[in-house]
Amino acid sequence: MSLRSLQALCLTSFFIADVRDGLGPFLGIFLTQHHWQPDDIGLLMTVGGIAGLLTTLPAGVITDKSSRKRLLLALLCLVITTATLLLWFTHGNAMVALLLIISGISASFVGPLMTGITLGLTGQHGFNAQVGKNEAFNHAGNFLTALIAGGLAWFWGVGGIFILMACTTLLTLLALMAIRSGDIDNNAARGLESPTQQHVPDFSVLFKNSALLVTGLTLLLFHLANAALLPMLSMRIASTPGSINPGLYAAATIIISQVVMIPVAVQISGQIEKYGYWRLIMLALLIMPVRAALAATTGDPIMMIPVQILDGLAAGILGVAVPSFIVSLLRGSGHVNAGQSVVMLMQGAGASMSPALTGMIAGRYSFSVAFGVLSIIAMAALLIWWRYTPVLSALNKVE
């Protein structure tokens, strides 16, 4: 494997962190400042999430078959950024919905493409270590851009975030160009055992894999509980008169979690062989109910510190353990990225419904009630993972 290409891949992971999510938690603040209500914001965020959800599986299939993954990823980054920048100029329901749909569809390709490029560069045996580095750089990128975004929000308001995203998109494209296309083995990138492997199992092999489906269902519930928690924390501050600067608050929530995720991502890649996938994912699932319950107890801005520390722990573990587990699970199938997309489809279903559900509960009752419901949903994810221990325990150790 080429050291230059792997270094460029790490830089791509660093800069793409700010591109893929668009405005991220700043979207809720931006729309709130333009007099949108929480339930309307949640609904439109759900529309964008559903659009991405519908293209998640095709994104994995296309990634498996594509031999031009770098070019495809570069084009999609440009589309996401353009759609996000256009939000500055229009606030009408239909146009905002259309732009969020475009961003959601484009963002659905980023995960499979990054996984495919990584696997194509490292092969099966080097994947776990490299995906840990990718995640660490990705979180470091989120940390730095959140730090800059907080400063921009403090001095110029949320509008400065749009400029920041344009800059990180340019840097992402430069990093992608530094990855040598010839270093990417397209057979390895889809999970084939060797360059000479001729037989590729039928696509239906994915839906016959019970461990893959249990993983997807568990993460569906996890993200139903998790996806709206951070935006709703920021919206609770934005809707409270005389509270702290909401843009600065949103940046702080991101910074805290990213600082935790960076060392966790690095450590987890080295702990998979020792503890196995099942135990590490169980640990992440245990964290989420506690995090949501803490958010429900008080609206004091200081509570975001333990809430986001826990977020960093859970996300740092899952960001490495889940894709590594799926690559190991589907080894030799030729459908690794499609398998990643099956799980992404299911967790995306939970994530896309989360803002609408939480926004509706917060609008009719309170933010505290909404966070309490999220804690209960997270407990359901934990129970499912525990219930299907026999299905997953055989796959706990790395081969």
Residue 250 included in any domain: yes
pLDDT at 51 over 90: no
Binned at pLDDT 50, 70 and 90, residue 197 comes out as: low
Structural domain count, the chain: 1
- What pLDDT score was predicted for residue 39? 66
Mean pLDDT lowest among 106-115, 370-379, 382-391: 382-391
The crossing angle, in degrees rounded to 10, of helices 93-107 and 38-54 is 40
Query: Where residue 122 sits, what CATH number does that domain have?
Result: 1.20.1250.20
Element (H, E) at 37: none
**Is it the case that residue 21 has pLDDT exceeding 70?**
yes
Asked if residue 398 belongs to a domain, the reply is no
Binned at pLDDT 50, 70 and 90, residue 149 comes out as: confident
| pLDDT at residue 233, rounded to an integer | 74
Q: How confident is the model at residue 399 (pLDDT cuts 50, 70, 90)?
A: very low
* Least confident among 68-72, 142-146, 173-177, 203-207: 203-207
Whether the predicted pLDDT of 381 surpasses 90: yes
Mean pLDDT of 159-165: 80
Could you tell me if residue 191 is inside a domain?
Answer: no
Structural domain for 388, as ranges: 3-183+204-393
Is residue 14 situated within a structural domain?
yes
Q: Examine the pLDDT at 14 and tell me if it is beyond 90.
A: yes
pLDDT tens, residue by residue, 67-99: 889 999 999 999 999 988 887 777 677 788 888
Give the range with max mean pLDDT: 30-34, 168-172, 187-191: 168-172
* Two tokens, residue 26: 């700043």
What is the DSSP code (8-state) at residue 335?
A: -
Say if residue 398's pLDDT is above 50: no
pLDDT at position 104 over 80: yes
Q: What is the mean pLDDT of residues 283-293?
A: 90
Kindly tell me if the per-residue pLDDT of 200 is higher than 70.
Answer: no
Question: Looking at this protein, which amino acid is placed at residue 29?
Answer: I
What stretch of H or E contains 14?
helix 3-20
CA 300 to chain centre: 27
315 within some domain: yes
Tens of pLDDT along 246-261? 666 766 777 788 889 8
Percentages (nearest 5) of helix, strand, coil residues in the chain: 80, 0, 20
Per-residue pLDDT of 317-336, as tens digits, reads: 999 999 999 988 888 778 88
pLDDT for 240: 65
Closest residue by Cα to residue 1 from 273, 189, 271: 189
Q: Is residue 247 part of a domain?
A: yes
pLDDT band for position 45 (cuts 50, 70, 90): confident
pLDDT of 316 above 80:
yes
pLDDT band at 134 (very low <50, low <70, confident <90, very high): very high
pLDDT of residue 219: 94
| Residue range 220-236: mean pLDDT, rounded | 82
Say what the pLDDT of residue 34 is.
65
Count of Cβ atoms closer than 10 Å to residue 286 Cβ: 17
Residue 264 lies in a domain: yes
Is pLDDT at 215 greater than 60 in this prediction? yes
> pLDDT for 336-355, tens place per residue?
888 888 998 898 888 878 87
In DSSP notation, 101-150 reads: HHHHHHHTTHHHHHHHHHHHHHHHHHHHHHHHHHHHHHHHHHHHHHHHHH
Whether pLDDT at 38 is above 60: yes
* Confidence check: pLDDT of 2 > 80: no
Is this model's pTM higher than 0.85 or not? no
Q: Specify the pLDDT at position 377.
A: 93
Mean of the per-residue pLDDT values of the chain? 82
Of the ranges 68-72, 236-240, 265-269, 359-363, which is most confident? 68-72
In a domain, 156, yes or no: yes
